[in-house]
Amino acid sequence: MNQYSSAKSFFEVNMIKDYNSKKIQKITENERNFLQRSFLNTDANILDIMCGYGRLGNELYKLGYKNISGVDMGNFEFIPEKKLFNFYNADFYSWKPMILYDCCYSLYNSYSNYKAFIDTINRCNLILKENGVLIIDIFNKEWRDRIPDSSYRVVKEDDNEKVELFRYYDGKYERSIYRVSTADVTKEFSYLQCVITKEKLLDIIPNGWNVTITDSSVENTRDDNQKHILILRKKG
């Protein structure tokens, strides 16, 4: 499905945009390289949390990580990319894996509030082995405060459809709105995501982890510090 007008949710619109984005292709390469530096054992059992269409899982598989699994509520079959790894079409928060994992990661995801972010960390604590590693990122408030509070751009415009993206920021949350228009109908899809400071992160991370906080500029996953990156090792 290359037509945005067929999308049924914000996430489907966003995934079509990302799949066709050269910028996201570069981010994927950078994130793959970061994970390769972080996960030295290619035989490790690794879980891609909310894996989408397999953007990162496939890249790691190609590097020789053959024990990759991914879990997501959507299977995203409208994206023409075959998942090379074991895929579980399930809700991560209630899914019951058959094994404990050596490593988990969740990159390029976003969270509507702090609770959703902490719920993800807590859930990983249950499915990781002792000394297992979780790598997870979240939007950095310091970065978001530096850029304009509102923005607008046209994602696509041709004879069949027009796709517009609006963003609004109030200092705590960013709301993104896609407007998809055809000759017959206009649809809007929105999503609210939180941002956070490093100080607040340190305050809310649950006990039970050895914590390292870095960011996307240090790890070269972005050109700036857009994302806090947490490297969490489960305590024995």
Domain residue limits, the chain = 4-138+198-234, 143-194
The pLDDT score that the predictor gives to residue 75 is 87
pLDDT of 152 reads 98
Q: What 3-state class would DSSP assign to 113?
A: coil
Q: Which residues contact 40 (CB under 8 A, 6 or more apart)?
A: none
Domains 4-138+198-234 and 143-194 share a fold: no
CATH superfamily of 4-138+198-234: Vaccinia Virus protein VP39 (3.40.50.150)
Q: Place 45 in a pLDDT band, splitting at 50, 70 and 90.
A: very high
Q: Which two tokens stand for residue 164?
A: 């517009």
Q: What is the pLDDT of residues 5-19, one digit of tens each?
A: 999 999 999 999 999
Tell me the whole-structure pTM to 2 decimals: 0.96
Q: What is the mean pLDDT of residues 127-150?
A: 98
pLDDT tens digits along 96-125: 999 999 999 999 999 999 999 999 999 999
The predicted structure's pLDDT at residue 3? 84
Inter-residue contact 222 to 27 (CB < 8 Å): yes
What pLDDT score was predicted for residue 236? 82
Residue 184 confidence class, pLDDT cut points 50, 70, 90: very high
Question: What CATH fold (topology level) applies to the domain 143-194?
Answer: N-terminal domain of TfIIb (2.20.25)
Token digits for 103?
């490593």
Q: pLDDT at residue 225 above 90?
A: yes
Q: In which band, very low, low, confident or very high, does the pLDDT at 2 lie, cut at 50, 70 and 90?
A: low
Label residue 236 exposed, middle or buried (CB < 10 Å: 0-12, 13-18, 19+).
exposed
